[in-house]
Every structure is written in C-alpha cells, then in structure tokens.
Structure 1
Amino acid sequence: MTDPGQAILADVRRLLTPGWLAGHALALLAVVTCLALGWWQAGRAAEGNTLSWAYTFEWPIFAIFVVVIWVREIRLTLRKGRADEPTAAVDPEDRPRPVITRRVNQPTAADEDSGDPQLAEYNRYLAWLNENPEARPSDYPAKEYR
C-alpha cells in the first residue's frame, strides 16, 4: 500500500508541469481580469450609469465560474490519474471485458410481400449490407444501387 503523503506529492507534481502552470496562470489572469472589470463597472455605476450596476455583479460571477471550472478540471485530472494506477487488490486480467453486440433484425416474409417491389429490393440491399459489413455500398451486385 502506498503512503498517502507520496500520493499527495505525486498529485502536486502532476499539477506543476509546464502545461498546468500555464493553465494556472491563465485561470488566475481570468479571475483578476473579471474582478477588475467588476470594480471598473462599480465605479461607472456610482457615476450614474445605471446599466453598469448589472455588470458590477455579473463580472464577479464570471470570476466565480472560472474558479469552479478550473477546480473541476483539476479534480477530474487527479481522479483520472488515480484510476489509471492499478491497485494490488484488482488484477487487470480479472476485470470483465465489455461485450459489444449488434442486434440485427432479419427481414421477414411480410417485409418481402409488402407489394412494393422497390421496398422489397431496398430491404434485400440492406440485408446484403448487413451480411457483408466490410463491403462498400457500391459493391452491391444490383445495378440500380451503384
């Protein structure tokens, strides 16, 4: 079992890479800019510009939004990093593998006897495409679908 202090240190190292440092700086710049714009709008509102009252409260909300999104990105990255590390209790070979299936509806006699020859031919074309998944539609042997 790993030491919790080492895990925290690994998380901090992960967030101190050049890309993350640039992201931290950009997020900080965005927050400071939003707060400064809110302060500027408050000054304009105090001078009598009534529309600026809405912006006075809107810019700090944008700053909060930037902080929330940045914290979310950090948490997702740290959670993903922990999920990538295999644990001693679970062997990756023992995990169940997902089963991918495809439901195929076979044409019935009612589909063939619908009375519409174009619809019947189209259903045969679709059945052929289903039977030959590696083929292109232009490989269909009928002339009218080339």
Structure 2
Amino acid sequence: MWSLREDTSWSQKQRSASHAARSSSGVRTGNAYLFSLHVHPLLTLLNSFAGVTADMYADDLSIIVKGQSREVAIPTANMVLQKLHAWSQENGLAINPSKCEAAWFTLSTHTESDYDREGKWPLVVAGCQIPVMTMGHRELRSFSAWISIHD
C-alpha cells in the first residue's frame, strides 16, 4: 500500500562501508522500526475518529469503519481516506490504489442485497475508486477466515 518516493538505495561496499547509489526502479529499503515510528502519528490520527480502527503490519494498513448502514459508513470511510491521502502526501509517502480493497460486512437478514447497484456509495482513495466486496449474513455463516496479504 505504501511506496517511498525517493529513489536512493543503499548498497554494501567491501563489508565495511556503505554508500548511496541511485536506483532507477524499485523502492528504497529502510529500517522497519524507523518506518513504524514515522507512521505512528498516522495511526493515532486515524484511530481518533469515532467508529474507526486502524492498524498496520509492516507497510500494510487495515482500516475498519463501523456504521449502522452503508449510507453512514461510506462517507466516514471516504473522510478517513482523505485524511490518509493528505497525511501521506505531507509525509513523503504515496498510496498505491491498485493494492487497495474494501469489504462490506453485514449481518442483515433483509431480502434486499447490500450490493451498491447504482454506484451511490463509491469508496475513493487518491482519486481512484476502490472495489467493494459485499459479504452478507449468508456468506458469513460459512466464512471462516479471509486474509489479504500484499507485498
């Protein structure tokens, strides 16, 4: 989900000294602890909103937004994603929308589907619409675990 904008990578030279080397591709490798310290204020910001829980593992960010309905949850989620995008730009990080995904979980037993047929509730990050997967009460009965891992 995250990519550093700077293109300097570090290479080992003769086992005792290192130097900066320009790289035309890839992402700069850094210290995971320093990255965690750098993004900790982002987690504090995102977790400050009511009904929002954010957590990270390495550079993967998960955001959970609780709401009584899609009409309530999606605007809140979009506001959180706007804050995420702004914070990322201010702090030299970029969001990769192609690695973003969302799931709408509901325990509703209503016969009407929660699928957004009319596109009334788009979820948007960094100007790109995120596909939303819907899991209703029928799917959740057989749902044991759904894990998404991104490199």
TM-score, shorter chain, exceeding 0.5: no
Higher helix share: 1
Higher strand share: 2
Q: TM-score, length-normalised on structure 1?
A: 0.29
Q: TM-score, length-normalised on structure 2?
A: 0.28
